């Protein structure tokens, strides 16, 4: 765990279908690094992480840049995914009752949100996979993928890569579900307070989008992928080469 984050972890140690487990020091996941403490910066500096993939939108990054310190340089790759963010969400105070009802009627489930994400961002997910397969630099080969919460955009990206590398799906689902537990408490309270300040009613359709990671949501991702040939096929269709897919599997699974 990186001090100052709520949902950071190494994905090493996840069981593989063929036996063994995923390698440590290769693929990390996290919420935003804006609150990283000095101890967290020391952890980052001492880690194998050399590349940080930021999936946040420009709106989300405004006023909350990542805090990684100056002890060494990280390669930061910005790959904004608008699906999964609240960019452009109107404030409830700006809506009349009819408009409010229309907005609430359009709120997707997490499963629907993830499938929209997959449908529109294959190229982005393939680029994340390529960066994990071939990180920049020889000294620090670890790659950290993050968004704001580290549960939706990051959750789908990490699940895709682990599945394509041969990780056990039950274990991948468990890793996804863990985010809700990690974010419970202070982070969730802060986010719900922010929503309330925006004038959003704290109804389940909204709070689930912000805080939940139900197993059904990531299972829906796998079902959608399987209907289209699986995670590896999806990444190839997004532009990942067969060679890079092979390296990705070797890097994650050994």
The overall average pLDDT reported for the chain is 91
Rounded Cα gap, residues 198 and 178, in angstroms: 28
User: What torsion do the CA atoms of 101, 212, 219, 106 make, to the nearest 10 degrees?
Assistant: 10
Q: What mean pLDDT do residues 125-132 have?
A: 98
Give the per-residue pLDDT at 93.
46
Six token digits for residue 130: 């390529």
pLDDT at 82 over 50: yes
**Structure letter (DSSP) for residue 48:** S
Six token digits for residue 194: 């922010």
Give the per-residue pLDDT at 196.
85
Nearest alpha-carbon partner for 21 in 183, 179, 175, 166: 166
Give the per-residue pLDDT at 33.
97
pLDDT at 76 over 80: yes
Give the per-residue pLDDT at 206.
86
Give the per-residue pLDDT at 96.
46
Q: Within 10 Å of residue 233's Cβ, how many Cβ atoms?
A: 14
pLDDT level of residue 75 (50, 70, 90 thresholds): very high
Give the per-residue pLDDT at 103.
54
Give the per-residue pLDDT at 107.
81
For 187-206, the pLDDT digits (tens) are 999 999 988 887 778 888 88
Six token digits for residue 6: 């709520």
pLDDT at 104 over 90: no
Q: What mean pLDDT do residues 71-84 have?
A: 89
Six token digits for residue 228: 């289209």
The phi, psi pair for 74, rounded to 5°, reads -110, 145
pLDDT at 216 over 50: yes
Nearest alpha-carbon partner for 14 in 192, 187, 158: 158
- Cβ-in-10-Å burial (0-12, 13-18, 19+) of 109 comes to middle
Give the per-residue pLDDT at 149.
96
Rounded Cα gap, residues 8 and 28, in angstroms: 7
Six token digits for residue 30: 């996290």
Six token digits for residue 167: 């990780």
pLDDT at 99 over 70: no
pLDDT level of residue 238 (50, 70, 90 thresholds): very high
What's the CATH fold of domain 9-240?
3.90.190
Q: What mean pLDDT do residues 81-95 have?
A: 55
Give the per-residue pLDDT at 205.
84
Task: List the domain boundaries for the chain.
Answer: 9-240
Residue ranges in 90-230 assigned as alpha helix (H): 97-105, 110-120, 122-133, 153-164, 169-183, 186-198, 204-211, 215-227
Nearest alpha-carbon partner for 133 in 164, 108, 154, 155: 164
Give the per-residue pLDDT at 88.
44
Residues 6+ apart with CB under 8 A from 47: 25, 28, 140, 142
pLDDT level of residue 42 (50, 70, 90 thresholds): very high
For 45-66, the pLDDT digits (tens) are 999 999 999 999 998 998 889 9
For 151-190, the pLDDT digits (tens) are 999 999 999 999 999 999 999 999 999 999 999 999 999 9
């Amino acid at each position: 765990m990186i001090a100052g984050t709520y949902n950071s972890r190494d994905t090493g140690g996840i069981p593989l279908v063929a036996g063994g487990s995923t390698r440590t020091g290769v693929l990390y996941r996290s919420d935003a690094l804006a609150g990283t403490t000095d101890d967290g910066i020391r952890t980052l500096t001492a880690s194998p992480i050399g590349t940080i993939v930021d999936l946040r939108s420009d709106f989300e990054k405004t006023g909350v840049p990542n805090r990684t310190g100056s002890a060494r340089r990280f390669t930061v790759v910005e790959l904004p995914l608008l699906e999964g963010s609240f960019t452009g969400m109107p404030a409830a105070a700006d809506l009349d009752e009819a408009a409010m009802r229309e907005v609430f009627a359009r709120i997707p489930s997490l499963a629907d949100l993830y499938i929209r994400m997959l449908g529109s961002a294959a190229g982005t997910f393939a680029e994340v996979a390529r960066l994990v397969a071939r990180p920049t630099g020889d000294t620090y080969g670890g790659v950290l993928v993050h968004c704001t919460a580290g549960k939706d955009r990051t959750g789908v990206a990490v699940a895709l890569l682990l599945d394509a590398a041969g990780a056990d799906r039950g274990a991948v689902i468990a890793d996804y579900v863990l985010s809700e537990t990690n974010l419970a408490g202070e982070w969730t309270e802060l986010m719900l307070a922010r929503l309330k300040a925006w004038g959003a009613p704290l109804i389940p359709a909204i709070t689930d989008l912000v805080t939940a990671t139900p197993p059904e949501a990531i299972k829906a991702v796998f079902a959608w992928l399987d209907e289209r040939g699986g995670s590896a096929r999806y990444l190839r269709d997004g532009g990942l080469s067969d060679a890079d897919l092979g390296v990705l599997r070797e890097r994650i699974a050994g």
